[in-house]
Copies of this chain bind each other. A is one copy, B any other.
Amino acid sequence: MNILLVLAHPEPDSLNGALHRFMLERLAASGHSVRTSDLYAMRWKPALDADDFPARDSAVRFDPSLESLKAFEAGTQTADIAAEQQKLLWADAVIVQFPLWWYSMPAILKGWFERIYAYGFAYGVGEHSETHWGDRFGEGTLAGKRAMVVTTTGGWASHYAPRGINGPMDDLLFPIQHGILYYPGFDVLPPYVVHRTHKVDAAAYARITEELGQRMDMLFTADPIPFRPQNAGDYKIPALTLRPDIAPGQAGFAVHSAPTAGRG
């Protein structure tokens, strides 16, 4: 299968750098084709701006969304944006790896999504009607592909527990896993999270690579997070609120995943 490893860490000689190389070797050894987007090494341009649209009419006010649609449809996107979109289309699975900085992804990675997720590519796709609010959240350009977050934190696991002060890790990752990855169609696997990065010694590293290696081996067989598809009946359209009879009385990120037999 084809696998894209996306990495956002500025130092190759870091835990993230080592885990990136570990995954690359493990997946290649399993017979997969692996490509990488090492954003710092590529000196990826982080900010979406008018420079991204060299063919645009600069006399018109800049609308990032509409310009991205025009450039995508006309084939006038910049080469760096088009190349990354092609990698996503090529991939059967994408692993998005980053240190958790201020409770989210580093700016350079956020800007990777902002710039390559063009209108017409990652959103604004499909029928938009009273029964189908675009191909998104379960449908879309990237449907049928898998995605997985691999992230690291300096803090302890308990700080990210259900009642930990930082908020639960699943909730911190919801805007990424549901809002960025599930949105254009990816099936999203549970994340792999390393805590207390400054305490990772040889024994911890051996455990981490054992676990992460197993996760790589199960990349195409593990069950994805059971996010609810938007257009299959669970949501009222166009309000896009969950039907009252589903998870009645509950609210928050968790209601957008279906309970599974294997879960507590």
Residues of A that sit less than 8 Å from B by CB: 10-11, 13-14, 40, 44, 46-50, 61-65, 101-108, 110-111, 113-114, 117, 137, 154, 156, 158-159, 161-168, 171-172, 174-175, 178-180, 183, 230, 235, 238-242, 250-256
**Distance in angstroms between the alpha carbons of A227 and B61 in the assembled complex:** 40
Q: Is the CB of A107 within 8 A of B47?
A: yes
Q: Is the CB of B252 within 8 A of A180?
A: no
Q: Is the CB of A107 within 8 A of B161?
A: no
A175 and B46 contact, Cβ closer than 8 Å, known pairs A110-B110, A256-B167: no
Q: Shortest beta-carbon distance, A119 to chain B, in Å?
A: 11
**Distance in angstroms between the alpha carbons of A179 and B108 in the assembled complex:** 19
Given contacts A14-B61, A166-B240, 20 further A-B contacts (CB under 8 A): A10-B49, A10-B50, A11-B50, A11-B62, A46-B107, A46-B108, A47-B107, A102-B114, A102-B180, A102-B183, A107-B110, A158-B241, A159-B240, A163-B242, A163-B250, A164-B242, A165-B241, A168-B252, A171-B171, A252-B253
Complex contacts, A65 vs chain B, CB 8 Å:
154
Q: Is the CB of A62 within 8 A of B10?
A: yes
Q: How many copies does the complex hold?
A: 2
**Distance in angstroms between the alpha carbons of A168 and B254 in the assembled complex:** 11
Q: Is the interface of A mostly helix, strand, loop or mixed?
A: loop
Partner of A113 from B11, B102, B162, B254 at Cβ < 8 Å:
B102
Complex contacts, A254 vs chain B, CB 8 Å:
252
**Distance in angstroms between the alpha carbons of A63 and B54 in the assembled complex:** 36
Complex contacts, A174 vs chain B, CB 8 Å:
167, 171
**Distance in angstroms between the alpha carbons of A65 and B15 in the assembled complex:** 14
Partner of A252 from B50, B61, B252 at Cβ < 8 Å:
B252
**Distance in angstroms between the alpha carbons of A179 and B242 in the assembled complex:** 28
Cβ contacts A to B, 10 pairs, < 8 Å: A13-B61, A40-B47, A40-B49, A46-B111, A48-B101, A103-B180, A137-B165, A162-B251, A165-B241, A165-B242
